[in-house]
Copies of this chain bind each other. A is one copy, B any other.
Amino acid sequence: MLSRNDCLELDARDPLAARREMFDLPAGVIYLDGNSLGALPRNVRPRLEAAVQNEWGRDLIKSWNTADWINLPSRVGDRIARLIGAGAGEVIAADSTSVNLFKLAAGALKARPGRKVIVTEPGNFPTDLYILQGLRALLGDVELRVVERADLAGALDENVALLLLTHVHYKTGAIHNMAALTAAAHAVGALALWDLSHSAGALAVDLNGCGADLAVGCGYKYLNGGPGAPAFLFIAKHLQADFQTPLTGWMGHAAPFAFGDDYTPAPGVLRGLCGTPAVLGLSALEASLEAFDGVDMDQVRAKSMALGDLFLDLVLEHCEGFGLGCSRDAAARGSQVALTHESGYAIMQALIARGVIGDFRAPDVLRFGFTPLYVRYVDVWDAADILSDIMARGEWRQARYHEVSAVT
């Protein structure tokens, strides 16, 4: 078992150690919730100030040209592309993950006429399921085949238009085999849509290497774009020319400023745009992505696995009563670990009161995310130590830790 000093030594040798300085982290806090909301990169504040004061305030409407607001979605998209194995011109940043899921799932049904089935799994991040249910309610003629992950490959047949999966599970962190499942979808003529919300920025994703067709993902988790940051979507190059999303807003038009009455899709991935880009949110996200400049995602992944293992080793050694809500094999999980405990909610509140921030997911999961750009080995050691102390003292039994907030 590693000692605290061992952890300090690991930090001293960590090739990513300097990245932590790029974040503005609150004192006295060990933040293990970057999988829910990434921490604040230092350059966001000056970038937003410039966007507000100079671009909006001073240059006003001219900034569409002078600050190139109009190309923010593709500029930010190209930055994200590098992190997820996509090419330039395959990704845009826009709207929310949920809205982008709707665009792409509906487009996939159009791209596979005659096929009415979408395959996905239960217990997926709910918005993925809800959006498919909304699409089914709208179209009527759609079958959702919701099957456990072990049965996914068997659920694919020639009636399937789309396989929609979240690459890294939001609760368990379990990673799907993107290459194998995409190939299985293709083998029956279906498309594969990957939700990268818990993958992008956390581990090396290789969309094109896996032959993925479509993807969406979140801007405010491991990409650190800020609360409710714009999301992204990916349409593989070879699908773009014929791809039709139903959300045909003016920014996805081939000539938005011609103000013609008839919709003609923009070339390439730009047809995935809908309304006017959220300039402030995109500016914050663009700045936040600079924290990944020059970063080797393999180093990120290696450190992430080491941090997760370290936490599990320490907690399972020193604390009793926890179940394991994730794989013990780091290679099989994303950048997060999950413990289960029937009093998980109160334990998490007690941890937060001691400055260790993770989150709770019903019914009994304590979730801890390890963001290699700003979490140190010693943070993980200290967090495990505090948890162990809370359990030893029974501190979480205090009534105040059982009060439920609006957002848990």
Q: Are the C-beta atoms of B26 and A275 separated by less than 8 Å?
A: no
A262 to chain B, nearest CB (A): 7
Given contact pairs A26-B58, A60-B31, A247-B98, A279 touches B227 in the complex (Cβ within 8 A):
yes
* Chain B residues whose C-beta falls within 8 Å of the C-beta of A124 in the assembled complex: 261
Is residue A1 contacting chain B, with contact meaning CB distance below 8 A? no
Given contact pairs A130-B250, A230-B278, A246-B102, A40 touches B26 in the complex (Cβ within 8 A):
no
Interface window among A198-206, A298-306, A330-338, A354-362:
A354-362
Alpha-carbon separation in the docked complex, A277 to B44 (Å): 19
Given contact pairs A247-B99, A249-B130, A280-B227, A40 touches B56 in the complex (Cβ within 8 A):
yes
Within 8 A of B (CB), among A41-93: 44-45, 48-49, 52-53, 55-65, 68-71
Interface size for A (C-beta < 8 A) is 99
Alpha-carbon separation in the docked complex, A284 to B281 (Å): 11
Q: Are the C-beta atoms of A106 and B37 separated by less than 8 Å?
A: no
A273 to chain B, nearest CB (A): 9
Is residue A214 contacting chain B, with contact meaning CB distance below 8 A? no
* Chain B residues whose C-beta falls within 8 Å of the C-beta of A177 in the assembled complex: none
Fill in one digit per residue for A197-228: 1 if any B CB lies within 8 Å of its CB, else 0.
00000000000000000000000100000111
Q: Are the C-beta atoms of B65 and A133 separated by less than 8 Å?
A: no
Interface window among A135-143, A379-387, A393-401:
A135-143
- CB-contact partner of A257 in B63, B246, B284, B362, under 8 A: B362
Q: Are the C-beta atoms of A126 and B259 separated by less than 8 Å?
A: yes
Alpha-carbon separation in the docked complex, A110 to B140 (Å): 11
Within 8 A of B (CB), among A237-262: 244-253, 256-262
A396 to chain B, nearest CB (A): 17
Is residue A95 contacting chain B, with contact meaning CB distance below 8 A? yes
Is residue A33 contacting chain B, with contact meaning CB distance below 8 A? yes
Q: Which 7 A-B pairs have the closest CB atoms?
A: A96-B275, A98-B249, A134-B248, A227-B279, A98-B275, A40-B57, A64-B407
